[in-house]
Amino acid sequence: MTITNIDLPAKLLRAAQEYQAVNDVRYYLNGIVINTAGYIGSTNGHCAFWAQCAEAKQLKNTIIMNIGGAIPAKAETAHISLHENGNAGYMWFSCELGRHVLKKGSKVYLGLNLVDGTFPDLERVMPKGELVATPAIGLNPNYIAKAGKAGRALGSKSPTVELRFRGADSCIEMLLKHADYNAKVIVMPCEI
């Protein structure tokens, strides 16, 4: 018996998977947060993904979920059912036409576990203040590549990001340019 059903944009979840931690001792980073403030987010502690998601406001409580596999590339909607005990569930996917999307090997459903913990407040780490001209800044190139993967997960064939700087010691805001989604990546600078 399920108590909570919610439909979320599969593309946002797929983009968020790029930034969630894997096997981190901070177990709550190994999932994607669906926040009742209206956003989906994930972080590995060095960079974070944040995207507006009106559907997230339908939940009674903010949840952190660890999805048991890759979300199919053709999926448009993730239909999520959370079990009554509140710590597990499953999801299935549909495309634009409302048809099921088959996962590799004809598996339609993915299991998910809810992570019991407190996810970092991503809104608190969002850069604020005026943009500052920054002559040089250190960035891990792997995080720039992840922004390209997240852009493709959102459906952009040739992803574009807008970089916003607020000084060499402040995090970098990378706006993922997309007509349908308001998404961004926050990256901490590294020493150069």
User: Residue 159's domain spans which residues?
Assistant: 126-187
Please compute the mean of the pLDDT values over residues 158-173 and round it to a whole number.
89
17 and 108, same domain (yes or no): yes
pLDDT of residue 96: 66
Residues 24 and 52 in one domain: yes
- Are residues 131 and 118 part of one domain? no
Which one, of 77, 67, 64, lies nearest residue 111 by Cα? 67
Q: Work out the mean pLDDT of the chain and round it to a whole number.
A: 85
47 and 104 in a common domain: yes
Q: What pTM value is reported for the model?
A: 0.87
The residue out of 98, 123, 148 marking a domain boundary is 123
Indicate whether 109 and 150 sit together in one domain: no
Q: Is residue 177 part of a domain?
A: yes
pLDDT at 97: 60
Q: Could you tell me if 88 and 161 lie in one domain? A: no
Tens-digit pLDDT profile for residues 91-149 = 888 776 655 555 544 446 788 888 888 888 888 888 888 999 988 888 888 988 999 99
How much is the average pLDDT of 80-94? 78
The verdict on 100 and 160 lying in the same domain is no
167, 79: one domain: no
- Do residues 92 and 160 both lie within one domain? no
